[in-house]
Amino acid sequence: MSAKQQTGKLLKSPAWKLCSLYYQQFRAMFIKRALFSWRNWKLMLLQILGLLGVVIFLLKAENFVTENDDIARQMNLREYGQTIVPLAISGNSSLTVNLSKHLENMLKSEKQILQEVRGDIQNYLMGNKDCIHLCIVALSIEVKTNETVLTVLFNNEAYHSPSVSLAVLDNILFKSLSGPDASITVSNKPQPYHDYISMFNKHTSGMLVSLYVHFGMGLLISGFCLLSVTERVTKAKHIQFVSGIYVLIYWFSALLWDFITLFISCCLLLVIFKYCNVDVFVMDYHFLDIMMIFVLYGWSTIPLMYLLSFLFSKSTTAYIKLILFNYLSGIFSLYVDTAVRYMEIESIKSTVTRNSILNSLLLLPNYNLLKCLSGYFAFYNKKISCNNQRNHPDSSLCNTEDSVYSLEDDMIGKNLFAMGTTGFAFLLLIFSGDTRWWWKLKKNFIQYVYFAIYKKFNKELVSKELSGRSEDEDVEQERKRILDQSDDLLMATVLIKELIKIYFNCPAILAVKNISLTIQKGECFGLLGYNGAGKTTTFQMLTGEKIATSGDMFIEGFSITNNILKVRSRIGYCPQQDALLEYMTGRETLIMYARIWGVSEHQIHLYVNHWLSSLHLESHADKLIYTYSGGNKRRVSTAIALMGKPSVVFLDEPSTGMDPIARRLVWNLVTKIRETGKAIVITSHSMEECEALCTRLAIMVKGKFVCLGSPQHLKNKFGHFYILKVKVKPDTDKDALEDFKSFISMTFPGSVIKQENQRIVNYYIPSKDNSWAKVFGILEEAKEQFHLEDYSISQITLEQVFLAFAHTDKMEDESEENIP
């Protein structure tokens, strides 16, 4: 076999096809995420700048202690800018002349102002407002008989003013003794901290730096929930799953994109550490360690954000609340950690309690981040101190064997390990939410707990409403057929068996009441019913969006309740509300779904163009979805449902909001798709649409089927009467009209007035025993006899059948009405 043949065989193998499908889907999901960030770049930038800005601002604002912070500060008037130095001299001597000359020269060189004062210096200082801020040092020289008294007064408002005052005095004295070139430089340098205090300060500094980073991180990582919430709430996620996306691919692509964003932000953060002299984090390849901490933090916190996003139904609310959660969880856990470790609290004195509290904190990624950064900071600062003081007296403090990654209490090993494992745990929880296992658990809980309790307390209602028996013979026949031969019918494209849905609200809502149905391939089945009849709920159960309370549904033999994942790739779904991602264009959306379906890359553009032209969407293809009109959005949703290779397509009011031309296009498309052998299930409030598309239909009233069959069958069955519309002449008196009514009721026994207003009377005339010719003949004669202006006779329409059933619902509540 040639190499070319072998390659060809490999490309056609199922494993290769599966791999290429995975690749296609991953690509589609990754591009979707990238487009979200790209189109919302301002938000993205805000998140990254938020992180960097918060960290840089807080680091600059707080002067945290490092080795280099203990610098010597010069005690010099220059440090205060230009000041005034009042000088009062009383008496005269060569010493006073000498001292004042040196003072004058010294102040001149330092660009200070010498202010000679007459009288008491204290009075001058008290009486001069400027002195409050400008007179840091004041001098008085008093010549007495045997001595000269030099007094220097310092400004109590200014830092370091006593030592600066003494430095000024010492300098002029020294200059008078050793000449004008002599000077004394005075500096204020603190003694090095004692080891214990030093450690405490470094620990505090490390904690502050890690708190700042954690504040900034909160802004960035909370944003990762935005698309997850939007996709879930708009049902775009559901449609992607229905189109066949794999759970792992959906979540891993999201994780990878958000991870890249976090990684880039953390690289920039390292630059900020360098700029703000947080040397411990960047020197000697330490940035690699810090990067590893950030990577593990991302690994654990991003899945947690996804997981928490399930709690919210609005993306902005989710963002704000998750920022708060991230801040508070970090600070609160740190507080608990400090309280447990250092405070003497009676109830947590036992080691077991203490350890279990500390270990439970390890579940929080923010706690681990704080502990890792502060622990790392303190560890390396301690190491630097120990290296600086080689002959350190306490060798236990400078154990060079220690590793920052050890699992001991003050080291970071435990926290790194916790981040690694919690990341896995959170991811598993997310995946399990979309797996068969979780679906089954929820199903069993609803069926065997909720429903069992409901049945126990509502026996009468359940036996009356949920028995499934129907007064309509077609519905009853279908039900019996399904119950008797369910095994034979399993391979029907759609098989619905005793399906019940109860919303367990207060009070419980019985949305779908034990319906049974089969739909074969090549069939277009219409589900009609007025608002709230239960059509959408039925669709939601059939597409796996909602779990049935009882009963089962099969698509090509696969049970939805037991094997939802296998069913999903066999259906196309156009939900009632457009499940579109508004930041994408129509073309990008269709390309994404084509990739999910596994259309090969070189055919995608051709394939998408075909769908765009089928629905006349070419001119809007490259516009963002949020700019689309309602009708155009519906077209895109319909195209998504119809594309790919589904065995059955569910269309929930597909043509709502479409103009007549678009509606015809959709009808043609649906008919073509049906003719290829797919089953179509459609709900619509347009009877015209149902007549045009449906091969069979059912009318649903209050969760039950009340009739079932082809449109013609229903018209024949329920249309056993004609509609007679009579218009009498304007001058017809009341008696003549009454005569006409008596004539009709006598000639057509069983006829009923449906409506009467002004000169128009509408009748239902039984069609049995009355041919068209007979009715026309009689009315032609009556026209002359009763002076009728005009009349018309027509067959009942589907809409009238539907209205009759819709009315039966009202009539149940009110009273019986006269429908023949």
Q: Which is nearer to ligand ATP, 33 or 704 (CB)?
A: 704
Binding-site member from 531, 619, 755, 758 for ligand ATP (CB under 6 A): 531
Task: Look at residue 531 and give its three-state secondary structure.
Answer: coil
Which pairing describes strands 696-701 and 524-528: parallel, antiparallel, or unpaired?
parallel
Binding-site member from 235, 535, 568, 754 for ligand ATP (CB under 6 A): 535
Q: Which is nearer to ligand ATP, 298 or 534 (CB)?
A: 534
Binding-site member from 135, 282, 511, 615 for ligand ATP (CB under 6 A): 511
Q: Helix crossing, 586-597 with 630-642: angle to 10°?
A: 10
507 binds ligand ATP (CB under 6 A): no
Which pairing describes strands 509-519 and 494-503: parallel, antiparallel, or unpaired?
antiparallel
Point out which span in 348-356, 527-535, 768-776, 797-805 binds ligand ATP (CB under 6 A): 527-535
Closest approach, Cβ 311 to ligand ATP, in A, equals: 17
Q: Both tokens of residue 297?
A: 């933090």
Site for ligand ATP in 442-481 (CB under 6 A): none
503 binds ligand ATP (CB under 6 A): yes
Point out which span in 526-534, 639-647, 760-768, 794-802 binds ligand ATP (CB under 6 A): 526-534
529 binds ligand ATP (CB under 6 A): yes
Quick note: the x/- pattern for ligand ATP over 575-614, rule CB under 6 A, is -x--------------------------------------
H or E stretch including 808?
A: helix 798-813
Closest approach, Cβ 690 to ligand ATP, in A, equals: 13
Binding-site member from 86, 423, 468, 534 for ligand ATP (CB under 6 A): 534
Closest approach, Cβ 535 to ligand ATP, in A, equals: 4
Task: Look at residue 348 and give its three-state secondary structure.
Answer: helix
Binding-site member from 92, 505, 771, 815 for ligand ATP (CB under 6 A): 505
Beta strand extents in 64-136 (DSSP E only): 73-74, 84-90, 113-117
Binding-site member from 533, 584, 658, 693 for ligand ATP (CB under 6 A): 533
If we measure between CA atoms, which residue out of 538, 493, 537 comes closest to residue 519? 493
If we measure between CA atoms, which residue out of 191, 188, 192 comes closest to residue 74? 188
Q: Which is nearer to ligand ATP, 506 or 773 (CB)?
A: 506
Q: Which is nearer to ligand ATP, 107 or 466 (CB)?
A: 466
Closest approach, Cβ 435 to ligand ATP, in A, equals: 23
Closest approach, Cβ 307 to ligand ATP, in A, equals: 23
Closest approach, Cβ 715 to ligand ATP, in A, equals: 22
Binding-site member from 91, 532, 630, 677 for ligand ATP (CB under 6 A): 532
Please identify the residue of the shown chain whose CB is closest to the bound ligand ATP.
Answer: 536
Q: Helix crossing, 286-309 with 315-342: angle to 10°?
A: 120
Closest approach, Cβ 451 to ligand ATP, in A, equals: 15
Residue whose token pair is 């654990």: 300
d(CA 447, CA 146): 110
Site for ligand ATP in 541-580 (CB under 6 A): 576
Q: Which is nearer to ligand ATP, 575 or 644 (CB)?
A: 575
* Beta bridge partner(s), residue 272: none
Site for ligand ATP in 293-352 (CB under 6 A): none
Q: Both tokens of residue 507?
A: 């009070």
Q: Which is nearer to ligand ATP, 537 or 751 (CB)?
A: 537
Beta strand extents in 98-214 (DSSP E only): 113-117, 137-143, 148-154, 187-188
Count CA atoms closer than 13 A to 795's CA, side-chain side: 13
Q: What is the DSSP letter of 392?
A: -
Q: Both tokens of residue 226?
A: 């935005």
Binding-site member from 46, 331, 509, 803 for ligand ATP (CB under 6 A): 509
Point out which span in 203-211, 233-241, 531-539, 562-570 binds ligand ATP (CB under 6 A): 531-539
d(CA 322, CA 334): 18
Residue whose token pair is 């202006």: 789
Q: Which is nearer to ligand ATP, 407 or 461 (CB)?
A: 461
Please tell me the total number of residues recorded for the chain in this structure: 820
Q: Both tokens of residue 50?
A: 């938020």
Point out which span in 206-214, 343-351, 395-403, 530-538 binds ligand ATP (CB under 6 A): 530-538
Residues 6+ apart with CB under 8 A from 132: 157
Task: Look at residue 131 and give its three-state secondary structure.
Answer: helix
Point out which span in 317-325, 480-488, 525-533, 614-622 binds ligand ATP (CB under 6 A): 525-533
Q: Both tokens of residue 786?
A: 């009763």
Q: What is the DSSP letter of 561?
A: T
511 to each of 465, 529, 583, how far by Cα in Å?
Answer: 11, 12, 34
Closest approach, Cβ 483 to ligand ATP, in A, equals: 24
d(CA 106, CA 562): 94
> How many chain residues interact with ligand ATP (CB under 6 A)?
13
Residue 654, judged by CB atoms within 10 A of its CB (0-12, 13-18, 19+), counts as buried
Closest approach, Cβ 580 to ligand ATP, in A, equals: 19
Count CA atoms closer than 13 A to 550's CA, side-chain side: 20
What residues line the site for ligand ATP (CB under 6 A)?
503, 505, 509, 511, 529, 531-537, 576
